[in-house]
Structure 1
Amino acid sequence: MNIDSIKNGIVLDHITAGTAMRLYDALGLDDLDCTIAIIKNVKSNKMGKKDILKIDNDFKVDLDVLGYLDPNITVSIIRDGKTIEKQKLDMPKQITNVERCKNPRCITSVEQDLDNIFYLANPEDRIYRCLYCDSKVENK
């Protein structure tokens, strides 16, 4: 299989195997008019298997969304065919409008225009809680 390198864009590497499409949807990549390579189940010495996303565009990626969905991802910024910056992610302390609160009694269920805000309650178990009703969201 031959996948071209990109000139200017972003490479998302070390994605948990089988989850690249979830990232694709969460980042809204289907709205971009550029080449996007989704490489699934690549052999990895460190992870066994992994996914990779290559975006051939100067796309402003939301690092909080990536950190929430998969904090092990490495983000590489590519310019003129060379990696100019590599970023490791952390789990964000707070996320806004990435998830919806599932509690039917939460104020966000009644007030549709209210932002869904979750804070990181337990980093080890990747548990976020709703800022308004304290309902739990487990992201595994």
Structure 2
Amino acid sequence: MLNIDSLQNGIVIDHIKAGTSMMIYDLLDLGELDCCVAIIKNARSEKFGKKDIIKIDGDIDIDLEILGFIDSSITVNIIRRGVIAEKKELELPKKLKNVIQCKNPRCITSIEEEVDHIFLLGGDKKYRCAYCEQEFHPGPSR
């Protein structure tokens, strides 16, 4: 059995859909951190069959809001002194920046390369481009 030490202080992102932990690693810019980050892929899960887990060692502050957009079944545990001190509830973020792209060919984001792709959450729980108001529809390509 693989042994990953328990954390004294840090963050555990659990119940990640199997195979998607590297996408989360990239979206959260975890490669930029100067601390130990462990990615456990295809761990056994009674609930999902398989799951991924990310453990981040250290008392750090990162924006985890994007996780609510990726998958609402993800759980986030804040570890302090070796125990779970806080469980974060995930919600849909009000704003997404450079996570999804506008598919409108006339949108400024399609014409200008340096423009950030910004989507805002509407009252109907749908994301729309901040520039052209094109509604985001999830599909095979992001």
Deviations 1:66-101 (CA, angstroms, capped at 9, x unpaired): 111222111111111111001131222432332332
The structure carrying a bigger strand percent of its residues is 1
Q: Report how far residue 115 of structure 1 moved.
A: 4.0
Q: C-alpha distance in 2, partners of 1:91/1:15?
A: 16
Would you say 1:94 and 2:95 are equivalent positions?
yes
- Greater shift after overlay, 3-12 or 89-98? 89-98
Identity %: 55
Q: C-alpha distance in 2, partners of 1:64/1:137?
A: 20
Cross-structure match for 1:64: 65
Secondary structure at the counterpart of residue 68 of structure 1: helix
Q: C-alpha distance in 2, partners of 1:86/1:64?
A: 14
The one-letter amino acid of 2:9's match is N
8 A Cα contact 1:101 1:116, kept in partner: yes
- Greater shift after overlay, 87-96 or 8-17? 87-96
- Greater shift after overlay, 13-22 or 109-118? 109-118
Would you say 1:128 and 2:131 are equivalent positions?
no
| Aligned alpha-carbon RMSD (Å) | 2.3
Secondary structure at the counterpart of residue 63 of structure 1: coil
TM-score by length of 2: 0.82
Secondary structure at the counterpart of residue 136 of structure 1: coil
8 A Cα contact 1:17 1:49, kept in partner: yes
1:1-140 aligned within 5 A: 1-110=2-111, 114-120=115-121, 128-133=127-132, 134-138=134-138
Q: Report how far residue 63 of structure 1 moved.
A: 2.6
8 A Cα contact 2:9 2:57, kept in partner: yes
Cα gap change, 1:12 to 1:112, in 2 (>3 Å): same
Q: Report how far residue 58 of structure 1 moved.
A: 2.1
Q: Report how far residue 112 of structure 1 moved.
A: 5.2
Q: C-alpha distance in 1, partners of 2:107/2:25?
A: 29
Q: Report how far residue 103 of structure 1 moved.
A: 2.8
Secondary structure at the counterpart of residue 30 of structure 1: helix
Secondary structure at the counterpart of residue 102 of structure 2: coil
Matched pairs, number: 137
Q: Which runs of 5+ in 1 are unaligned?
A: none
